[in-house]
Structure formats: structure tokens, C-alpha cells
Amino acid sequence: MKPLFVKMPPYNNEEGRENVLTLVRIALKEGIDAITAANTHPVTDARLAVGRGGLSGQPLLEDTIRIVREIRLEIGRDVAINACGGIFTHLDAIRAIKAGANTVQLFTGLIYEGPSVAKNINLGLAKYMTQRGIHSIQELAKSEA
Ligand SMILES: Cc1cc2nc3c(=O)[nH]c(=O)nc-3n(C[C@H](O)[C@H](O)[C@H](O)COP(=O)(O)O)c2cc1C
């Protein structure tokens, strides 16, 4: 059976955090396999044709790392977290994994770099781990390196 990932919106205040953590708890109770954290950030800007939109890409990374860390603290180790928002490089992926992610997802990186962005992240991760004698993502998550 295909795993079910549920995608959460980002948040940047206590009320948003509580709302998202409530959604996470409900999703877990319903038996989902993984949480994706997070989505585009809502922005309003008169220069946009409809006055609002969703911000993606590098400006999202710090929030992604924070949100992954906070959701991981909430749910323990049993459910996977897929980090999404501002991931462009293997170093971004490593930060997300150390914050508690099991996998990473990206979109905007594809627009800037093309499909090779996935290969480059994988090659970068493999090199980083080989150089440090790290054999798994679980080991990487715990490593001090
Ligand atoms: C043009 C565009 C269309 C998107 N469409 C969707 C969508 O239909 N559903 C969704 O959950 N996220 C959608 N997203 C959000 C991305 O899946 C992703 O969560 C977000 O862009 C943050 O990741 P990134 O910084 O790697 O792009 C879209 C993003 C962009 C830029």
C-alpha cells in the first residue's frame, strides 16, 4: 500500500504552532504514515496580479528547520517527517535530517537547477557521509559531524 503523507502549512507564532500540532495529532490518530512540513508561506503584495500568493524557495529554509524540529519533538520517533521548503543542497538536507526529518522534498530547486538538483543532493550526501564514516540516514541524524 502507498504510504500516506499529510502536508502541514507553515506557522510563525504560538497560535499557528498550536493549530498545526493539533492537526498533526489528528492526522496521527487517523493512521497516516508521514508528515510533510511545510508548504509555501502566504504573502500579500500589491505587485502580484491577485494581490497575494505563496512564497517558496530559499527564504523558507530556516522556518522549515524550526517546524521540523518542533513537530519531531511533538510526535516522537515513530512517524516519518518529510522536510519541504527551501531545500536546495545536500547541506540543507543534512540540516533538515538533523532537525528530525527522514526525507526531504523540493520544488523551487528544480526551477533554478533542473532535475539534476536531486542527483547533486544525493551525490553530496553520499560524499559527506563516506568522508565521515556515516552509514545511514539514522546515523547521520545523530552524528555530531
Ligand atoms: C508553482 C508552485 C505550485 C505549487 N503547487 C502546489 C500544490 O498544488 N500543492 C501543494 O501542496 N503544494 C504546492 N506547492 C508548494 C510546494 O510543493 C512546496 O511545498 C513549496 O514550494 C516549498 O518548497 P520549495 O521551497 O522547495 O519550493 C507549489 C509550489 C509552487 C512554487
pLDDT for position 95: 98
Question: Tell me, which fold does domain 5-142 have in CATH?
Answer: TIM Barrel (3.20.20)
Mutate to test the pocket of ligand 1, among 6, 35, 36, 40 (most ligand atoms within 8 A of CB): 40
pLDDT for position 72: 97
Q: What is the pLDDT of residues 61-75, one digit of tens each?
A: 999 999 999 999 999
> Where does ligand 1 bind, in terms of residues with CB under 6 Å?
7, 39-40, 56-57, 60, 84-87, 106-109
Amino acid type, 38: A
Which three cell numbers mark 18?
A: 498550536
Q: For residue 84, which of 65, 98, 99, 100 has the smallest C-alpha distance?
A: 65
Ranges of each domain in the chain:
5-142
pLDDT for position 145: 73
Q: Residue 109 CA: which ligand 1 atom is closest?
A: 26
Q: Poorest-confidence range of 41-45, 64-68, 77-81, 129-133? A: 77-81
